[in-house]
């Protein structure tokens, strides 16, 4: 049985003070059930504050990015060691905004995944197609290639620690959601790709989320699909009540 994981990606929002307030509001609404995991991914500057705010709860800390070296002359970067020291357990890698605005390639994603795993951080690897790619009929080829490259040289027991987030780029922050059937279909294809690499039992153990305009109104339907193991939530994770309802699969 795969335990669904619901992660809130706060992106470049919330000062430490605002993050503490959002955590307080969230914790009054949030009832983290044993059958699902909840991860909060604030910006780097609020990790320490959120770490403190969620201490003693079942909520888990995540980061939005990581560099692939442990230390050194890499101005502006944050290493897996630094995240680990703050109590971070998950890290988003290869979000489409990082690929689009910061030039992250599949090769960089793979290096980051390896570095994260070496320091016991669970990567949440984002994959997904643009609208143009979808309309050109290359969704499957593109997503398969992103998955193949992200998992390059990752051993099977490490692969089981990884979460994949299927995020069609045209659905991120746009209010457009892939239908639950379509999300389930692509996620099934991703699981098939993982099966080709690792065999069926490992592929069945890897959690694959959907992301892209998830809100309380569509979460329950998404979670009825057999292949979908939770959600990566952007905009709606900034509102305590909305995020709590998403976590409950509550319309
Ligand atoms: C995201 O940034 O990963 C995301 C899915 O954003 P939103 O929920 O706002 O579409």
CATH classification of the domain holding 133: 3.20.20.70
pLDDT at position 189 over 90: yes
Tokens of 51: 């770490």
User: Which of 64, 100, 211, 238 to mutate for ligand 1's pocket (most ligand atoms within 8 Å of CB)?
Assistant: 211
Mean pLDDT of 15-31: 94
Burial of 245 (0-12, 13-18, 19+ CB in 10 A): buried
Residue 239 pLDDT: 97
**152: annotated active-site residue:** no
How is residue 3 annotated by DSSP?
A: P
Question: Residue 41: which domain range?
Answer: 5-248
Q: What is the pLDDT of residues 27-43, one digit of tens each?
A: 998 877 789 999 999 99
**95: annotated active-site residue:** yes
Instruction: Answer yes or no: is the C-beta of 127 below 6 A from any ligand 1 atom.
Output: no
User: Which of 7, 235, 236 to mutate for ligand 1's pocket (most ligand atoms within 8 Å of CB)?
Assistant: 235
Q: What is the pLDDT of residues 42-74, one digit of tens each?
A: 999 999 999 999 999 999 999 999 999 999 999
How far is it, in rounded angstroms, from Cα 251 to Cα 235? 17
Around 205, how many Cα atoms within 13 Å sit in the side-chain half-sphere?
12
Query: Domain total for the chain?
Result: 1
* Predicted model pTM: 0.97
pLDDT at position 125 over 80: yes
């Amino acid at each position: 049985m795969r335990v669904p994981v619901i992660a809130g990606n706060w992106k470049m929002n919330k000062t430490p003070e605002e993050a503490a307030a959002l955590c307080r509001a969230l914790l009054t609404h949030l009832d983290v059930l044993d059958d699902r995991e909840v991860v909060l991914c604030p910006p780097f500057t609020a990790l320490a504050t959120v770490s403190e705010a969620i201490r003693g709860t079942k909520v888990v800390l995540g980061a939005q990015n990581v560099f692939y070296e442990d230390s050194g002359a890499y101005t502006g970067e944050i290493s897996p060691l630094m995240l680990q020291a703050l109590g971070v357990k998950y890290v988003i890698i290869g979000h489409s905004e990082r690929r689009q605005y910061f030039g992250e390639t599949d090769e960089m994603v793979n290096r980051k995944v390896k570095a994260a795993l070496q320091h016991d951080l669970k990567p949440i690897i984002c994959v997904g197609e643009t609208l143009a790619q979808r309309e050109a009929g290359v969704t499957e080829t593109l997503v398969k290639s992103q998955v193949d490259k992200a998992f390059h040289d990752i051993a099977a027991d490490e692969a089981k620690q990884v979460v994949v987030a299927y995020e069609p780029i045209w659905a991120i922050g746009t209010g457009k959601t892939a239908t639950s059937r379509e999300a389930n279909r692509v996620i099934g294809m991703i699981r098939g790709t993982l099966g080709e690499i690792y065999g069926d039992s490992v592929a069945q153990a890897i959690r694959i989320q959907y992301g892209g305009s998830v809100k309380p109104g569509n979460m329950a339907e998404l979670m009825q699909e057999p292949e979908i193991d939770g959600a990566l939530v952007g905009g709606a994770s900034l509102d305590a009540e909305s995020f709590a309802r998403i976590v409950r699969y509550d319309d």
